Structure 1
Amino acid sequence: MPIGRGPVTLSLPAFRGAVRRLVILLVGAFFAIALLNFISGTVATTVVGLMILMPSAVLGRLHIWELVTYAFLNVGILNTAFSLLTLWFTGSMLEDSRGSRWFTELFYTSVVGGSLLATLLAGLPLFTGDRISFFGIHPGVGLVAAGISAPLFGVLVAFALLFGDVEFMLFFVLRIKAKYMVILGALLYVATLLREKDSFGALLALCCGLAGLAYVKLAHRRGMSATAAERYYGLRNDYIRWKRRRAARKFEVYMRKQDRIVKFDDEGRYIAPEDEARKPNDRKWMN
């Protein structure tokens, strides 16, 4: 948990906004799967098989929903509880700093961006006829991943970039800064990727971390959707100004043929003769 530089406290951040909605959704999915397994193990197995991230299913049968649903399929009470607490602490600070929309986009960018990249890397043998593989990973039936841990690493990367000097109590014993904790986690995932045969989970976590890093670097403070909207309206306004300037030039040519002189400013706005002597920076007189 994040702490200050003074005495260690167990104070909890406010449970509200996008973090609360996300935690409730994850808890609801956890108990829904548990209840379904209690009612019918066969049906639960089928549902889990459709939710779990399996690169062979995504690439071979186009189960693209698995790029999202895997994050809501958590196993183990302690692991799920620890992950949700970490999400609560780090997510609350990110949401307070950047807003609910920004945090929501960060989370789902980590979920979808990380799973998509990991699936494509794992699917290299399919694309190249088994000539190229990423650290020996092959998208067989047994290659699966699930849980919030991998997307949570993307959130932690974003947290380390924005609040790198905030300190955590690692295992409730070791005081460590967020940026060093993320570096340590990345090194452990890389070691797992290099040494273990079943390393798709480590690959997924690293890809989610890269997705979180890319989002922080590319997104506006108000979120990617705000950035996209600003770019769209900027391009649209540039196009409108270009059309207005072109129409103004055509009209000037036409009026010169009529032995009349008309003038327009750089934005394509008409300048009336009686206003021509006014200050050019005074835009109140422009139509």
Structure 2
Amino acid sequence: MPRIGATQLSFPSFRGATRLLVLTNLVAFFLLLILGSTNEDLFRWLVLHGAFIPQAFLHWWIWQPLTYSFVQLGITSTLLSLLGLWFLAGFLENFHERDWVLSLYAVSVLATAAAGLVIYLGHVALGYALPEIPLTGSFGGLFGFIVVIGVLYGDMEFMLFPLPISIKARYVAIIAGLVATAYLFSSMRLYGFAQLGGALGGFLFMRMAPRRGISLVFSEKWYGMRNGYYRWKRRRAAKKFEVYMRSQGRTVKFDGSGKQLDKDHDDKKRWN
């Protein structure tokens, strides 16, 4: 993957995976905002059930790793998250397929939740209490994006708004990792470890996943299974036809894919 040394001065185009991620999170934020202003109890219920809480997940709230990233709380944090999604996802979408970017985001989000669960179980095993801090927002996906950009496009320089200075992408990734590591020595260790999990998930996806995303793998597997089923049916029908032809005193041969081998016989050898 080529490295880029230019400076990124403006936001990328708003399309494809970028538009889907930003608009989905924006709609989720305003729905919670409207519900919070009309029914506070319902708002608390949605946040409690939508955020990722390791204790709740172990009590069969298994949907939380899929929903917590859409629970956006706070106008400032949500604004920064949406701007980050626009900038980072849009940048990656200039060089990768839409499905690849979406798959990277999904893997990073799930890896973030998995890391949160791991550190919680580790504290339980060691007999230490871990502060209950629900995981909310798209920070896991953002960390995955940051790591991938830092590795693949480390020489790209980004402006540090509103400061008139720029910094290389690899240093942004390193600083973000150091901040997350510092959280491990505070009451926010669940949050910090989860961030590192999202970064690791993004890195592993970058190294192991196909260029066009996970959805391509599943689609290929599906079509392969479907075609295999059709080939099995064709072979089965061919065997039945061979048995029938033998009962009529004729011999017909088929290959392993169910195709007839004696198609070139002249009309005198064909049965009527």
* Shorter-chain TM-score tier: 0.7 to 0.9
Label 1:96 to 1:209 Cα distance change in 2 as closer, same or farther (>3 A). same
| TM-score, scaled to structure 2 | 0.75
Give yes or no for contact 1:151–1:205 (8 Å, CA) kept in 2: no
* CA distance in 2: counterparts of 1:238 and 1:150, whole angstroms: 38
Superposition map of 1:1-287 within 5 A: 10-60=9-59, 62-115=60-113, 117-124=114-121, 130-132=124-126, 138=130, 142-171=132-161, 172=163, 173-178=165-170, 180-193=171-184, 195-230=185-220
- Unaligned segments of structure 2, at least 5 residues: 232-254, 263-272
Label 1:162 to 1:10 Cα distance change in 2 as closer, same or farther (>3 A). closer
Q: Any idea what SS the aligned residue of 2:155 has?
A: coil
Paired letter, 1:211: G
Q: Any idea what SS the aligned residue of 2:168 has?
A: strand
Alpha-carbon displacement from aligned partner over 1:102-122 (angstroms, at most 9, x marks no partner): 11111111112321x224313
Alpha-carbon displacement from aligned partner over 1:188-220 (angstroms, at most 9, x marks no partner): 211211x10232111111111111111111110
Label 1:235 to 1:75 Cα distance change in 2 as closer, same or farther (>3 A). closer
Label 1:80 to 1:215 Cα distance change in 2 as closer, same or farther (>3 A). same
Residue equivalent to 2:242: none
* CA distance in 2: counterparts of 1:214 and 1:69, whole angstroms: 22
* CA distance in 1: counterparts of 2:104 and 2:169, whole angstroms: 21
Paired letter, 2:12: P
Identity %: 32
Q: Any idea what SS the aligned residue of 2:94 has?
A: helix
Give yes or no for contact 1:150–1:201 (8 Å, CA) kept in 2: no
Alpha-carbon displacement from aligned partner over 1:203-247 (angstroms, at most 9, x marks no partner): 111111111111111110111232345467779999999xxxxxx
| TM-score, scaled to structure 1 | 0.71
* CA distance in 1: counterparts of 2:36 and 2:48, whole angstroms: 13
* CA distance in 1: counterparts of 2:172 and 2:129, whole angstroms: 27
Greater RCO structure (CA 8 Å; 6+ sep):
2
Alpha-carbon displacement from aligned partner over 1:10-48 (angstroms, at most 9, x marks no partner): 433211112101101111111111111111112111111
Q: Any idea what SS the aligned residue of 1:101 has?
A: helix
* CA distance in 2: counterparts of 1:233 and 1:37, whole angstroms: 45
Shift of 1:68: 1.8
* CA distance in 1: counterparts of 2:129 and 2:142, whole angstroms: 23
* CA distance in 2: counterparts of 1:125 and 1:160, whole angstroms: 30
Give yes or no for contact 1:55–1:122 (8 Å, CA) kept in 2: no
Aligned residue pairs total 261
Give yes or no for contact 1:99–1:222 (8 Å, CA) kept in 2: yes
Give yes or no for contact 1:71–1:147 (8 Å, CA) kept in 2: yes
Residue equivalent to 1:246: none
- Unaligned segments of structure 1, at least 5 residues: 242-264, 273-287
Label 1:239 to 1:66 Cα distance change in 2 as closer, same or farther (>3 A). closer
Give yes or no for contact 1:54–1:145 (8 Å, CA) kept in 2: yes
User: Alpha carbon RMSD of aligned pairs, Å?
Assistant: 3.7
Give yes or no for contact 1:137–1:200 (8 Å, CA) kept in 2: no
Structure 1 window deviating more from structure 2 (76-85 vs 210-219): it is 76-85
* CA distance in 1: counterparts of 2:129 and 2:168, whole angstroms: 33
